[in-house]
Chains A and B, each alone.
Chain A
Amino acid sequence: SQQGEEDPQALSIQEGENATMNCSYKTSINNLQWYRQNSGRGLVHLILIRSNEREKHSGRLRVTLDTSKKSSSLLITASRAADTASYFCVKRDSWGKLQFGAGTQVVVTP
């Protein structure tokens, strides 16, 4: 089974709007990472949040982590067409393996 299940599966917004996607996981984690994948390209690391952190920012990205609910959210503020991509949350399981979810496909229209 896949850890790090993203929700929604797909999201369509207009430029300037905010995009929020969520990620749930099943077992305890040391950290949770978010990656972006543009069509036809490899994944690019966006941000890492540790289990003892509740919120982290990087530019227009804001990530939150709620370990009691075993969930994380990624917010992209003031979205741009270039933000069109798939976004994955990734957690490292107790065996040390990085487990990817199915991803959220975000489409930002001008």
Chain B
Amino acid sequence: DAGVIQSPRHEVTEMGQEVTLRCKPISGHNSLFWYRQTMMRGLELLIYFNNNVPIDDSGMPEDRFSAKMPNASFSTLKIQPSEPRDSAVYFCASSLAARVNEKLFFGSGTQLSVL
């Protein structure tokens, strides 16, 4: 299996532009998570899906952020409009289920720089 695949690997954009990050989870995994990592705040859970349904989006910073999972093999995280403080590494992770003992498999992340 190729693991969790994220694209793009790097994204540089200007403030105010729309940014779309993409994720393909591991086939057969039912749960998908979006995390953001910064030096100041560490790893923060933004949102997670179970069976393509958003379960908890309380970590989404504000309305500029939105996430979708139209099917079991694809998810997007969109920022519109982007701001410099959104600069971070965004990780997507998947697991077999959102059960207590399930481990997460992470993608390589998207490094976002908003100028």
Indicate, yes or no, whether A interacts with B: yes
Q: How many residues of B contact A (CB 8 A)?
A: 20
Which bracket fits the contact residues of A?
Answer: 20 to 34
List chain A residues, Cβ under 8 A from B25.
none
Q: Is the CB of B100 within 8 A of A42?
A: no
Contact A33 B103 (CB under 8 A): yes
Instruction: Indicate if the CB atoms of A42 and B91 lie closer than 8 Å.
Output: yes
Are A43 and B100 also in contact (CB < 8 A) when A98-B45, A100-B42 are?
no
Q: How far is the CA of A28 from the CA of B112 in the complex (A)?
A: 35
Tell me if B79 is interfacial: C-beta within 8 Å of chain A. Answer: no
CB contacts under 8 Å to B, within A92-106, are 92, 95-103
Describe B's contact surface by its main secondary structure: strand
Q: Which residues of B contact A40 (CB under 8 A)?
A: 109
Mask of B59-89 contacts with A, CB within 8 angstroms, 1/0: 0000000000000000000000000000000
Query: How close is A23's CB to chain B, nearest CB, in angstroms?
Result: 13
A interface residue numbers (CB < 8 A to B): 2, 30-31, 33, 35, 40-45, 48, 50, 88, 92, 95-103
Measuring CB to CB, which residues of chain B are less than 8 angstroms from any residue of chain A? 4, 33, 35, 42-43, 45, 48, 56, 91, 93, 98, 100-101, 103-109
